Amino acid sequence: MAKVTMVGAGSAVFARQIITDVLAVDGLDSGVFALVDIDATRLELAKSIAERLVELSSKKWKVIASTDRQEVLAGTDYVVNSIEVAGLQNVRADYDIPLRYGVDQCIGDTIGPGGIFKALRTGPAWLDIVADCQRLAPRAMILNYTNPMSILTLAAARSTSQPVVGLCHSVQGTSRQLAGYLSIPYEELTWRCAGINHNAWFTTLEHRGVDQYPRLRELAKTHDIFEQDPVRFEVMLRLGAFVTESSGHFSEYVPYFRKRPDLVKEYARAGYLGESGFYANNWPSWRRENDERIRGMLDGSVEIPRTRSHEYASNIIEAVEKEHPTSIWGNVSNARSIDNLPDGCVEVECKVDRGGFHPVPFGKLPEQLAALNRSHMAVHELVVEALLEHDRQKALYALSLDPLTAAVCSLEEIERMFGEMWEAQRQFLAPFEQKVRV
């Protein structure tokens, strides 16, 4: 009988979907969902929808909840992390302060000023969770869904002996998009993909043994297709491969698309296609709307979705509990998986079975793609060191190396921006105040 502990369950989005997915696994008829969140009101909402999902499934899963994870971690087999630390209080500072320096972000949760400060706020709490898992649930697999994915997963992997994997939906989502662009049934598309989270590359796209990249490049030259993913198609046409993350996300990871207003105008579109401040301007309302949607599901005014998703958590649990080995694309430490990337967190195919996660050797990425990944991994490394050592200076060094920030700002401007963001968020950076190197 499996025990799945969901930390940050009050977010309800990942918690509800993963519970739905686990309940959809054939033969996995009983277990425990332990829900944890420091927000008691949102935790109660998550518990109520979880109980309703179990009721609808007619399975014998038990739901427990606590604002104190130490009360429920014992005996856990799978820890699913989806925490958000002080995001609501800081989403404006993450966007507004960098924008004054010319750093224009769409999402800001992976690298860049927003992503780095999200890591600094989230990392200490996350590492405390990992330490509690080691102490109270030493046999658990740790599944991280929180961004910045690479930074937090690498920090956890370096602080525990337990199996840790970061899970995203960009590989499975983008592979389906590509099948759609090519009008090929998804199950007939053959592909290879590797890199880092939000920056993994489809190096092979084939249908019945025929390379599909020539056709995709021709399709990308048509206005209607190009407009569906302008940044990603531009990158494919210029650098040779399609990347896993949306145009809006990816536009802020590289120095090419957002360093001048004319470039933002040329390449950015509404929403996830690159809209300036899209996350900062919408996330607070999304959060409220999601809570309202959950309440609607509970009172019957909104239908409860019960379709199993493409998220990997349930596949991992099924692989272990039902002895059905599977493959996922996971974020794991680079133990010779990608030859021309350094030690760090990479996103590669992983076999999953009772023995854990087994990264599949990929070989070398095309050098131009590996070079883009390495620039990110340098930032990741410095932020992870900052988290593990409580070292503010290394966090500043990380921001100084961020590709977009460095394309826009001088080193002196970066230091001033960093200082402004630090002052705006100081109350949420207390662990660093214990050891500050200037």
Residue 429 has pLDDT above 50, yes or no: yes
Q: What is the rounded average pLDDT of the residues 372-401?
A: 98
Average pLDDT, the chain: 96
Residues of the chain with CATH 3.90.1820.10: 90-110+166-276+311-438
**Band of residue 435 on the pLDDT scale cut at 50, 70, 90:** low
Q: What is the rounded average pLDDT of the residues 393-401?
A: 98
Tell me whether residue 358 is exposed, middle or buried, using C-beta atoms within 10 angstroms of its C-beta: 0 to 12, 13 to 18, 19 or more. Answer: middle
Residues of the chain with CATH 3.40.50.720: 2-89+111-165+301-306
**Band of residue 433 on the pLDDT scale cut at 50, 70, 90:** confident
Annotated catalytic residues are 169
Tokens matching residue 18:
């993963």
Q: Taking CA 183 as the corner, what is the angle to CA 182 and CA 184, rounded to the nearest 5 degrees? A: 90
> What is the CATH superfamily name and number for domain 90-110+166-276+311-438?
AglA-like glucosidase (3.90.1820.10)
User: How much is the pLDDT for 436?
Assistant: 43
Which tens digits make up the pLDDT trace of 226-248?
Answer: 999 999 999 999 999 999 999 99
Q: What is the rounded average pLDDT of the residues 352-375?
A: 97
Indicate the pTM of the whole model. Answer: 0.97
Q: What is the rounded average pLDDT of the residues 215-235?
A: 97
Please name the fold of domain 2-89+111-165+301-306: Rossmann fold (3.40.50)
User: How much is the pLDDT for 207?
Assistant: 98
Q: Secondary structure of the chain in the HEC alphabet?
A: CEEEEEECHHHCHHHHHHHHHHHCCCCCCEEEEEEECCCHHHHHHHHHHHHHHHHHHCCEEEEEEECCHHHCCCCCCEEEECCCCCHHHHHHHHHHHHHHCCCCCCCCCCCHHHHHHHHHHHHHHHHHHHHHHHHHCCCCEEEECCCCHHHHHHHHHCCCCCCEEECCCHHHHHHHHHHHHHCCCHHHEEEEEEEECCEEEEEEEEECCEECHHHHHHHHCCHHHHCCCHHHHHHHHHHCCEECCCHHHHHCCCCCCCCCHHHHHHHCCCHHHCCCCHHHHHHHHHHHHHHHHHHHHHHCCCCCCCCCCCCCHHHHHHHHHCCCCEEEEEEEECCCCECCCCCCEEEEEEEEECCEEEECCCECCCHHHHHHHHHHHHHHHHHHHHHHHCCHHHHHHHHHHCHHHHHHCCHHHHHHHHHHHHHHHHHHCHHHHCCCCC
